């Protein structure tokens, strides 16, 4: 019997704090597949933190050229997530704020909830989380700070810590 994985959502942003906005949203689906979309910044979204760009490697110019309109990204998320009802994030405070901003500017309401990934984790999983995540990054050569790959990394870390704790209990 195959295990059902949580659907994980991750958002990359123009920076942190006041004035920041979402620039990429990615999801890792329950079947392990993942996808992500760059988001075209609106004219009023002017905040840009060069340090954030160094992390995610996405330029504002690239977003303008390759990004999808805010409304299209919000519609895609609703289409993907409405049947599931919820997705999980490891940075709920930031991601929920950016998700709300995205839907507000799209003139839409999300048809799903975003919840903190940590509510799914046992204490044993939490204790193993950081080391397991770092091991997966190294073993799989995961490119960090891109929304789709980060969502999948979180999902894999969840799966591996769950297996480790289940086998340790036997």
Q: Which pTM does this prediction carry?
A: 0.93
CA distances from 41 to 65, 75, 97 (A): 10, 16, 16
Nearest to 25 by CA among 97, 82, 84, 85: 97
pLDDT for the residue numbered 44: 96
Q: What is the pLDDT of residues 119-164, one digit of tens each?
A: 999 999 999 999 999 999 999 988 788 999 999 999 999 999 999 9
Instruction: Give the 3-state secondary structure of residue 7.
Output: coil
Using pLDDT thresholds of 50, 70 and 90, give the confidence band for residue 49.
very high
pLDDT for the residue numbered 170: 52
pLDDT for the residue numbered 143: 79
Q: Which domains does the chain have, with CATH numbers?
A: 8-168 (3.30.420.10)
Residue 42: both structure tokens together: 């609106």
pLDDT for the residue numbered 147: 96
**What order do you get walking across the sheet with 113-116 strand by strand?**
34-38, 22-28, 8-13, 86-89, 113-116
């Amino acid at each position: 019997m195959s295990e059902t994985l949580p659907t994980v959502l991750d958002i990359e942003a123009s920076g942190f704090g006041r004035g920041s906005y979402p620039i990429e949203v990615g999801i890792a689906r329950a079947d392990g597949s993942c996808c992500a979309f760059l988001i075209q910044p609106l004219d009023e979204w002017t905040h840009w933190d060069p340090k954030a760009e160094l992390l995610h490697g996405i330029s504002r110019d690239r977003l303008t050229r390759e990004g999808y309109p805010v409304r299209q990204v919000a519609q895609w998320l609703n289409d993907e997530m409405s049947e599931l009802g919820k997705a999980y994030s490891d940075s709920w405070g930031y991601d929920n704020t950016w998700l709300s901003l995205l839907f507000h500017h799209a003139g839409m309401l999300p048809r799903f909830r975003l919840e903190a990934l940590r509510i799914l984790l046992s204490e044993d999983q939490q204790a193993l989380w950081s080391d397991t995540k770092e091991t997966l990054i190294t073993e799989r050569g995961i490119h960090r700070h891109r929304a789709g790959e980060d969502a999948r990394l979180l999902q894999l870390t969840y799966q591996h810590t769950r297996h480790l704790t289940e086998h340790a209990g036997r």
